[in-house]
């Protein structure tokens, strides 16, 4: 297969699989750690209205979803890339980081969570995914 096509495919598959892992953990998290009673966590408006009721435990699965989704996506991209494997892993992390920043803008969260999420869940996990794929 053409290396350029293989690299493009690696990124697309990494984004799709990483996004699926992210969404899967978010959906599982809502059943493991139930939102506050009477809260509508199914829409952005509902989440914004109840964010002040969230305890630290409510942020566990969103963080895990962001970190694991990025890790899996970066690993998949690096495993399937024809060349520059770490570059493609970091690109996946950068893409998910942009998504994380846009979520913070659309849905403000506590500063401690925003900082932890943006600093630890994206680029470090992409680097780990790239390292795992290239060893």
pLDDT digits (tens, 9 = 90+) for 54-98: 899 999 999 999 999 999 999 999 999 999 999 999 999 999 999
Is 119 or 40 the better-scoring residue by pLDDT?
Answer: 119
Instruction: Report which of 59, 125, 120, 64 is spatially closest to residue 89, judged by C-alpha positions.
Output: 125
Residues 108, 132: Cα–Cα separation, whole Å: 33
What is the pLDDT at residue 60?
95
Residues 112, 105: Cα–Cα separation, whole Å: 15
pLDDT digits (tens, 9 = 90+) for 89-125: 999 999 999 999 999 999 989 999 999 999 999 999 9
- In this predicted structure, the answer to whether residue 45 has a pLDDT above a threshold of 90 is no
What is the pLDDT at residue 96?
98
């Amino acid at each position: 297969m053409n290396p350029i096509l293989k690299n493009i495919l690696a990124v697309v598959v990494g984004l799709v699989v990483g996004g699926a892992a992210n969404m899967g953990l978010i959906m599982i998290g809502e059943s493991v750690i139930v939102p506050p009673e009477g809260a509508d966590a199914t829409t952005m408006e509902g989440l914004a209205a109840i964010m002040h009721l969230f305890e630290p435990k409510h942020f566990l699965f969103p963080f895990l979803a962001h970190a694991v989704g990025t890790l899996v996506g970066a690993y998949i991209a690096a495993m399937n890339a024809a060349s520059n494997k770490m570059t493609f892993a970091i690109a996946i992390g950068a893409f998910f980081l942009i998504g994380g920043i846009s979520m913070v803008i659309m849905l403000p969260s506590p500063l401690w969570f925003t900082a932890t999420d943006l600093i630890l869940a994206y680029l470090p996990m992409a680097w780990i995914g790239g390292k795992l794929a290239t060893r």
